[in-house]
Amino acid sequence: MYTMMSIRIYLISLILFISCIDLSDDDNQRNNTLPIQTSFKVEDFSSAEECAGCHPQHYAEWSSSMHAYSMVDPVWLKQQNMQQAHNSVNGIEIGDFCVQCHSPVAGLTNLIENHIDLTNDVINSLPAQVKEGVTCDACHLTTHLPSPTNISIDNHNYETTEFKLYSSDTRYGILDNPIENDFHKSVYSSDYDKSEFCQNCHNLTVDNRDAETTQFEWEGSAFQAMGVECQTCHMPLYSGKAAITGPDRDNLHRHFFPGIDEALIDFPRKVEHRVALEDLLLTAAEINLFETPPDTIKSDTVWNARLIISNNTGHNFPSGTSFPRQLWIEVFAIVDDDTLLASGFLDARGDIYDFYIDPDRNIDPQLNIFNTILYNTEGDSGLLKVSVENMVEMVNNTLPVSDSRIVDYSIQIPSGMNGQLELTARLRFRSFPPFYLRHLGLESLIENVNIFDIDAISETVYVSSN
């Protein structure tokens, strides 16, 4: 089964390369001798468009990805500005905390001076290397594996994401026998096929409390034991040419980087990215009846329908920024025109009745949703008041890695009822709930949020009054 890593997967971006130093004898030892640069200017990085001429396939895939979208994402921009303003009122500067992973070049060069008033116009005025978000060189200049990121609210230390890069005429990648060329040197690095490559932007703790810990979820799992890395599923292999003048190869990585997000505004190649995203999500989990139902259920009784939801991914599902995500079960039990149970249905505005909409669980008391909830020092919880930057606790209701969750639905069978009971259940997922986009002032984007039906079951049981 494919795994799925988090909301905005920071893997390898582009350029699978064309000339090489052979590190196969002891590449780990030799990698340790590679340099690390500590100070950068924008000119140290190339624009992705400069790579497109030789690597059109990788460029086309990357340009549809959340890596390319990361700096122009209106949801992220709203979140960034709101969090900057919130901390500023309290006299706290979080600087490039939100920027450092969404545009590593901007973070490494300290190019953005006014984070509070960051706008689309400001972003569009920045150099291409910054606007491109997680651009090619943000990955292919990496000389050493990064460490997980831990920010400190207590010490007001937010700019802690680690990038171990070196800017030169060399690009690093996974090809150990590329063809020489006139554009750049290439060095093979086994690090580019390791999950740890992604952990600086996909494993975040807050004063050592788990926040977005996709890497930690994967570590120690059966997937790690089997050698299934982030790249295995988020950059699956295919056959083709790494460069237009290069030979055919059977070990190239896709650069769509599908995870759990897709662009909510006009963006290049949305259709292609949607296909890659669906291919990944539709393998992520499954839903089944945990117990075989009886052939007949008596009326004037309660049938306890027990379902099991299994996580097939190499980490929790959803993972990463799981607090705004919605993975839930929609269940209906219907006899003729009588609805005996309805749970996980949408209201008139497209929301489900979770604790944001139905905090006392009056309307949909049997709702099952799998995500995380953040709490701050005042005891406030949820998306509208708490974020990673001011959380002190997180309740994790996601599906655990390599595990299942059993849920029960109580279905009251009325007295005297006869007929066929149709039980249907769907496991549904969407990246953002409508109420949250309204909260951000982005109501116009709601219609662009797709709901993915990951798996579904149906069962018929006869109801008898005898």
Task: Give the structural domain span for 310.
Answer: 285-464
Which residues are 408's β-sheet partners?
Answer: 306
Q: In the prediction, which pLDDT does 30 show? A: 52
Tokens describing residue 348: 């008139």
Alpha-carbon gap, residue 220 to 224, rounded angstroms: 6
* Residue ranges in 152-255 assigned as alpha helix (H): 214-218, 222-225, 230-234
Q: What is the reported pLDDT for 299?
A: 95
Same domain, 347 and 234: no
pLDDT at 307: 98
Q: How high is the mean pLDDT in each 10-residue block of the chain (466 residues)?
A: 33 30 43 87 97 96 98 96 90 94 97 93 96 98 97 92 96 89 91 97 95 96 97 97 93 96 97 96 97 93 97 97 96 97 98 94 97 89 85 93 97 96 98 97 98 98 92
The pLDDT score that the predictor gives to residue 416 is: 94
CA distance 307 to 305: 7
DSSP state of 438: H
Q: Give the per-residue pLDDT at 385.
A: 85
Do 440 and 319 share a structural domain? Answer: yes
The verdict on 127 and 208 lying in the same domain is yes
Read out DSSP for 54-89?
Answer: T-HHHHHHHTTSHHHHTTT-HHHHHHHHHHHHHHHH
The domain boundary, picked from 281, 315, 344, lies at 281
Tally of domains within the chain:
2
For residues 61 and 197, state if they share a domain. yes
Q: What is the pTM assigned to this prediction?
A: 0.91
**319 and 259 belong to one structural domain:** no
> What phi-psi label fits residue 110: left (phi over 0), alpha (psi between -120 and 50 degrees) or beta?
left
H helices of 270-324, where?
A: 270-281
User: Which three-class secondary structure string do you get for 105-170?
Assistant: HHHHHCCCCCCCCCCHHHHHCCCHHHHCCCCHHHHHCECCCCCCEEEECCCCECCCCCCCECCCCE
